[in-house]
C-alpha cells in the first residue's frame, strides 16, 4: 500500500495541476479512483499491521515485565543498609545501565505498537505515519532485546563469574543467538520500511 501511494504521489508531481481534479465519466477524480481501487489492499495492510503490532507488543510487554522486576531483585543481594553488595563493581554498573535502557526502550516499543493498533488507518497513514511507527517499534524492540541479553550476561558474571569463569564466554555467545535470530528475521523488513518511507528504495534509479 505504501508503494502504491508513493507511485501515486510521484505521478501527481509530474502532471499538470488541472489534471488532478479532472473527473472521469462516472464523476470520479484520480484520488477518488485510487481510493476505490485500493480498498482491498488497504484492508490487507491494516490486517497485517495489526497482527504484527500485536505480536511484537506482546514480546515488548514481556521484556518490560522482566526488566522492571530485575532492577528490584539485584544480583548478589543487598547489604543491611539496603545498598547492593556489588554496587561498585563494573559488572553491576553494566547490569544497571543495560536494564534501565532496556526497560525504557521496551516501553517505547509498546507505545509505538499500541499507536499502530489504535490508528484510524486512513489512506494517508500508510504513506509515512504507520511505517514510521513500525520502524521505531521494531528498532526499539531489537534494542531492548540486546540490552536484556547484556543485563543477563552481567548478572551471570556477578553471580557465577568467579566460580565458573570458564563457562562465561560460551554462555554469553549462546545468549547472543536470540538477538541474531531476531535481526535475521526482522532486519529486511526494517530496512525495506525505512527505505520506502524516506523515498529511497522505490525511486533510487
- Given this model, what pLDDT does residue 23 score? 78
Nearest Cα to Cα of residue 177 among 145, 139, 143, 155: 145
pLDDT in the model for residue 115: 94
Counting beta carbons within 10 angstroms of the beta carbon of residue 126, is it exposed (0 to 12), middle (13 to 18) or buried (19 or more)? buried
The predicted structure's pLDDT at residue 116: 93
Looking at residue 88, the DSSP 8-state letter turns out to be: T
| Residue 180: all three cell numbers together | 541474531
The pLDDT value recorded for residue 197 is 72
Domain locations along the chain? 52-197
Total-model pTM: 0.80
Q: Which residues of the chain have pLDDT under 50?
A: 201
Across 176-185, b (16+ Cβ under 10 Å) vs e yields eeebeebeee
Sign of CA dihedral 39, 40, 42, 43: positive
Facing residues of 84 across strands? 78
pLDDT for the residue numbered 161: 65
Q: Which set of grid coordinates corresponds to residue 202?
A: 522505490
pLDDT recorded at residue 19: 76
**pLDDT for the residue numbered 81:** 65
Amino acid at each position: 500500500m505504501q508503494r502504491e501511494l508513493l507511485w501515486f504521489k510521484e505521478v501527481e508531481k509530474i502532471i499538470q495541476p488541472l489534471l488532478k481534479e479532472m473527473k472521469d465519466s462516472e464523476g470520479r477524480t484520480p484520488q477518488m479512483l485510487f481510493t476505490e481501487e485500493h480498498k482491498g489492499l488497504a484492508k490487507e495492510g491494516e490486517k497485517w499491521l495489526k497482527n504484527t503490532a500485536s505480536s511484537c507488543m506482546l514480546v515488548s510487554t514481556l521484556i518490560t515485565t522482566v526488566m522492571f522486576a530485575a532492577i528490584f531483585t539485584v544480583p548478589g543481594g543487598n547489604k543491611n543498609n539496603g545498598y547492593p553488595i556489588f554496587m561498585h563493581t563494573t559488572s553491576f554498573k553494566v547490569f544497571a545501565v543495560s536494564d534501565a535502557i532496556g526497560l525504557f526502550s521496551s516501553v517505547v516499543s509498546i507505545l509505538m505498537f499500541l499507536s499502530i493498533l489504535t490508528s484510524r488507518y486512513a489512506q494517508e497513514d500508510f504513506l509515512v505515519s504507520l511505517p514510521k511507527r513500525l520502524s521505531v517499534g521494531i528498532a526499539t524492540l531489537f534494542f531492548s532485546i540486546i540490552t536484556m541479553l547484556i543485563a543477563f550476561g552481567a548478572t551471570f558474571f556477578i553471580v557465577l563469574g568467579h566460580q565458573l569463569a570458564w563457562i562465561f564466554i560460551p554462555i554469553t555467545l549462546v545468549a547472543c543467538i536470540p538477538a541474531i535470530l531476531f535481526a535475521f528475521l526482522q532486519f529486511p523488513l526494517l530496512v525495506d520500511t525505512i527505505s520506502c518511507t524516506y523515498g529511497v528504495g522505490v525511486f533510487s534509479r
